[in-house]
Structure 1
Amino acid sequence: MDRLHSEFPIDDISPGALLHAVLDVALQATDRPLVLAVSGGRDSMALLHAMARWAPSRIAAVATFDHATGSYATEAASLVAAQARRLGLTVVRERARVGGTNEAQWRDARWAFLRRVARGFRARVATAHTRDDQLETIVMRLLRGSGARGLAALAAPSAVLRPWLGVSRNELARWVESESLPYLEDPMNASLRFLRGRVRHEVLPVFEQQSPGFGEAMLALGERAAQWRREVEALVDASAVQVNAEGTRVSIPARVLEQTTEAGRGVLWPAICARAGVTLDANGTRAAVRFTTSDRAGAHITLAGGATIARRRDQRGDVLEVRQAPSRDTSWSAFEGDVSALPSRCGRWRFRRLGVEPLAKDAWCIGLPAETPVVVRPWRPGDRIRTPGAPAGRRVTRYFTESRVSVLDRREWPVLLVAGEPVWIPGVCRGLAAPSRPGRPELIWYRCEREFD
């Protein structure tokens, strides 16, 4: 950010030229289309008009969220929608079903909306956070006792693009006024009700008066913290970390954490968890560090908020896996009836009826004679199944372990029973009691598929 100001001294360059140059630099960081997060305030309206003027081809959509907190929120969303449509841009507008009562609720609702829109357009979110927002965030986190990771604030490595992060609100205001761009002033900007307002109007002016240069020192501290975070992220990137497509689960070889010091684990765990959208507080970090040395595959701990860390095995050997808290109830009720009426969905599982016998049969498929009474229910700890390798019966947990099914997944795993005996654990094994006869036309074939993997 300091380099930006040295290259573009505001006394020697017009407001438009400065913002155009800043925008060009920011856009070089990605080739993906962008969803612009526009609130209707001055900074975000500057982003909307600047992108529409200098990089319209990069805009996938304009997203605006009405927090349902009163007339201002609705008027601001209407202004954004009208301006974006006038500029020929796609607009996605949404209103909260219930108005939140604090900054955290508003932020969570807004970001859930923005991420959903970005996924729909396969784009990145771009926001209008400024240099002043960064300073306020750093000070707020200092007041809350954040460590180096938190002090990177808005400059931390992120999927969000923030073109104005090196630009002050005053610099944006000069351009907005010179172009007579429309915007609405959020009445909350002048309020002392929330911490950000008190930091902006009371804390920062006093600190700057008592210690001139305080703001610049805090910004430099934030930049050093951001550089430290970039180095930590690079280390995690080089450690065979894997993240699922939904970004809700991340795994890393256990040896990566076992081979470092306790202090090193305390640095790495928050970065690893963040890949799955899980934020570790101090207690969570300590719990994760202690859990690292657990040598029992299948062990797990639950963090505040419902996220979990587990040890399991895959092709890389022992891995440590972080999962977000379940976003919805995945429990489901047992089905009992004819095989031809098997439900299409049981929790996160789908049973797909096949028109013909599959050419390549595996543990995910089974064929059962028509009119066979079946029961499909979640696995129970005492379940046993007879298989060619264990005709006398063996606990299903043994097959789960051999198939590398996590302990956390087992409680909702479906089991199909015929005459009260387990005959199919989808994806794991089929039992001797399965009354299937390959090649017979009266067989009804099913494939079971798990969602969200």
Structure 2
Amino acid sequence: MTGPVAGVLAQAGVAAGCRVCCCLSGGVDSVVLLHRLCELRHGLDFVLSAAHVHHGLSANADDWLAFCSELCARLEVPFVSFRVDVRRDHPQGIEAAAREARHAALAEMDCDWLAFGHHQDDQAETLLFRLFRGAGVRGAAAMAAVELPSAGRAGRLRPLLGLRRAQIEAWARAHALAWVEDESNADRRFARNDIRHRIVPAVEQAFPGAVPALARAAEHFHEAAGLLDQLARQDEAACGGATLDGAALLRLDDARIANLLRWQMRQLGVAAPARSRLAEALRQLRATQAQRPLRLALGALACCVYRGRVWLERAALAGAPAPQSWCGESHLPWAGGLVDFEPGVGRGLSRAMLERATSVRVAARVPGMHLRLAGDRPRRSLKNLCQEAGIPAWLRERLPVLEIDGVPAWVGGIGVAVDFACKPGESGIEPVWRERS
């Protein structure tokens, strides 16, 4: 039993000083895993702890918490417990609600790795569960033995993933280990339990090697998902980065565009939308050739198209940023981008006027704002100027406005008011709004 666990730790690069937290439910799988990690911690010199999540769903939950606490005390393993409130009205049911609450609690652990007791039977059940729900390649990849840490998130270890449930239970009995039994695991009203107790046995009766075969299939899906991620990274780079060049994007076929957008969503920590919603977004992108301004809702994110560029942003628009004084800085942050101040001659704002001003600041537009861009043109409302410039409505609230002594002198994407414009040969400062930093 120690060999498979040590192999996964070696694959992950767990070494001296690494902090590994065993996620301890009290069931046989996590109890066996904790004992194996205890045997390895001194030789590999990693720091071991354990965490238990009290869901409050069973009358025995307090007893399970006490069992885990006492076990860790005997093994001299630092122990942390969490009590969570599980939503009873979760759209995907109580199982999904408990899982979300559990993972949210475990994410609070200050560690490098979270170690779970999932095994090969769990892998097969997870694959079937996801396939029955119509999962794609990534969903069918199920669980990986090693998930590397990323973006402040602890890595995941599943050292028992290559072992059958029966092997783990046999080892526990041979070593006289005690564990707890969650009575809900026998309740076939839960989909995963029904798969475990009814469907998998029926499949194994017809195909005796079904569970290992399903686990191998999950590994194949995992490899394929990795290749799709590589393709998405390459396509993003070819399309100019996170803010995509619309023309280059539309030269890809729909499957690659969808793969790229899904990958970008995962980088933002957001689940991909329904396949039908993404297909509709692609249809609208094709119809406009990424030339007409669009903002397409895709769940928590929106796909935005403006001036030939395509990007994803949060669907809920934040309010306009607070005003910021400008004191000669080369740039100021604004609405997820930057306002750069570039020195020049005969362009932009008059440097002399800026230096004489009592107050210079960047702020949001105010209702009724007007601007005159040239001496032979009338003052125009900002709304009309935005319409002429093709600036979509959702961007207008975020336009940066540079005010000199309270008077609008420049608007991002629109230009410089004539009264503040730099004369030919005069030293000037040209503000430039980089919409996405």
Residue aligning to 2:214: 218
The number of equivalent residue pairs is 382
| 5+ long unaligned stretches in structure 1 | 1-14, 243-248, 332-346, 435-452
In structure 2, the CA distance between the partners of 1:286 and 1:50, relative to structure 1 (3 Å rule), is same
What is the CA–CA distance in structure 2 between the aligned matches of 1:427 and 1:35, rounded to whole Å?
A: 51
SS for the counterpart of 2:220 is helix
What is the CA–CA distance in structure 1 between the aligned matches of 2:24 and 2:386, rounded to whole Å?
A: 52
Do the aligned residues in 2 keep the contact of 1:156 with 1:229 (CA within 8 Å)?
no
Tell me the amino acid that sits aligned with residue 93 of structure 1: S
Do the aligned residues in 2 keep the contact of 1:233 with 1:271 (CA within 8 Å)?
yes
Tell me the amino acid that sits aligned with residue 139 of structure 2: G
Tell me how far 1:128 sits from its aligned partner.
Answer: 2.2
- Aligned equivalent of 2:31, options 19, 40, 45: 45
Q: TM-score, normalised by structure 2?
A: 0.68
SS for the counterpart of 1:154 is coil
Tell me the amino acid that sits aligned with residue 54 of structure 1: L
What is the CA–CA distance in structure 1 between the aligned matches of 2:191 and 2:371, rounded to whole Å?
A: 59
- Aligned equivalent of 2:50, options 45, 51, 62: 62
Correspondence 1:162 to 2:131? no
- Aligned equivalent of 1:272, options 264, 267, 270: 264
Tell me how far 1:134 sits from its aligned partner.
Answer: 1.0
Residue aligning to 1:23: 8
> Larger deviation: 44-53 or 183-192?
44-53
What is the CA–CA distance in structure 2 between the aligned matches of 1:92 and 1:427, rounded to whole Å?
A: 53
Residue aligning to 2:342: none
Correspondence 1:140 to 2:132? no
SS for the counterpart of 1:40 is coil
Do the aligned residues in 1 keep the contact of 2:5 with 2:160 (CA within 8 Å)?
no
Tell me how far 1:152 sits from its aligned partner.
Answer: 1.5
> Larger deviation: 384-393 or 80-89?
384-393
SS for the counterpart of 2:139 is helix
Residue aligning to 1:302: 297
Residue aligning to 2:310: 320
Residue aligning to 2:61: 73
Q: Deviations over 1:67-118 (max 9, x none)?
A: 2223333433444344445555554432224554611211222222233x25
What is the CA–CA distance in structure 2 between the aligned matches of 1:397 and 1:35, rounded to whole Å?
A: 59
In structure 2, the CA distance between the partners of 1:431 and 1:176, relative to structure 1 (3 Å rule), is farther
Tell me how far 1:60 sits from its aligned partner.
Answer: 6.9
Do the aligned residues in 2 keep the contact of 1:379 with 1:411 (CA within 8 Å)?
yes
In structure 2, the CA distance between the partners of 1:157 and 1:98, relative to structure 1 (3 Å rule), is closer
In structure 2, the CA distance between the partners of 1:394 and 1:325, relative to structure 1 (3 Å rule), is closer
What is the CA–CA distance in structure 2 between the aligned matches of 1:61 and 1:164, rounded to whole Å?
A: 18
What is the CA–CA distance in structure 1 between the aligned matches of 2:29 and 2:252, rounded to whole Å?
A: 44
Q: Deviations over 1:111-130 (max 9, x none)?
A: 22233x25x55x34332221
Tell me how far 1:54 sits from its aligned partner.
Answer: 1.0
SS for the counterpart of 1:227 is helix
Give runs of aligned pairs for residues 251-270 of structure 1, distance below 5 A: 252=244, 254=246, 257-270=249-262
- Aligned equivalent of 2:382, options 395, 401, 404: 395
| 5+ long unaligned stretches in structure 2 | 149-155, 334-338, 340-353, 421-436
What is the CA–CA distance in structure 2 between the aligned matches of 1:86 and 1:430, rounded to whole Å?
A: 73
What is the CA–CA distance in structure 1 between the aligned matches of 2:396 and 2:83, rounded to whole Å?
A: 38
Q: TM-score, normalised by structure 1?
A: 0.66
Residue aligning to 1:283: 276
Tell me the amino acid that sits aligned with residue 73 of structure 1: A
Do the aligned residues in 2 keep the contact of 1:307 with 1:324 (CA within 8 Å)?
yes
- Root-mean-square deviation (CA, aligned residues, Å) is 4.8
SS for the counterpart of 2:60 is helix
Residue aligning to 2:434: none
Do the aligned residues in 2 keep the contact of 1:125 with 1:161 (CA within 8 Å)?
yes
Give runs of aligned pairs for residues 86-235 of structure 1, distance below 5 A: 87-100=75-88, 102-115=94-107, 117=108, 121=111, 123-155=112-144, 158-159=147-148, 160-235=156-231
What is the CA–CA distance in structure 2 between the aligned matches of 1:157 and 1:396, rounded to whole Å?
A: 53
In structure 2, the CA distance between the partners of 1:273 and 1:360, relative to structure 1 (3 Å rule), is closer
Do the aligned residues in 1 keep the contact of 2:235 with 2:260 (CA within 8 Å)?
no
Q: Deviations over 1:138-160 (max 9, x none)?
A: 11122223333322122498553
In structure 2, the CA distance between the partners of 1:49 and 1:359, relative to structure 1 (3 Å rule), is farther
Tell me how far 1:430 sits from its aligned partner.
Answer: 9.8
Tell me how far 1:385 sits from its aligned partner.
Answer: 5.4
SS for the counterpart of 1:193 is coil
Q: Deviations over 1:383-429 (max 9, x none)?
A: 54578999956738979999xx9976654778798999667989999
Residue aligning to 2:423: none
Q: Deviations over 1:238-282 (max 9, x none)?
A: 34469xxxxxx9655546642322233344433332222222322
Tell me the amino acid that sits aligned with residue 114 of structure 2: V
What is the CA–CA distance in structure 2 between the aligned matches of 1:156 and 1:24, rounded to whole Å?
A: 10
In structure 2, the CA distance between the partners of 1:113 and 1:30, relative to structure 1 (3 Å rule), is farther
What is the CA–CA distance in structure 1 between the aligned matches of 2:113 and 2:397, rounded to whole Å?
A: 36
In structure 2, the CA distance between the partners of 1:177 and 1:212, relative to structure 1 (3 Å rule), is closer
What is the CA–CA distance in structure 2 between the aligned matches of 1:259 and 1:253, rounded to whole Å?
A: 10
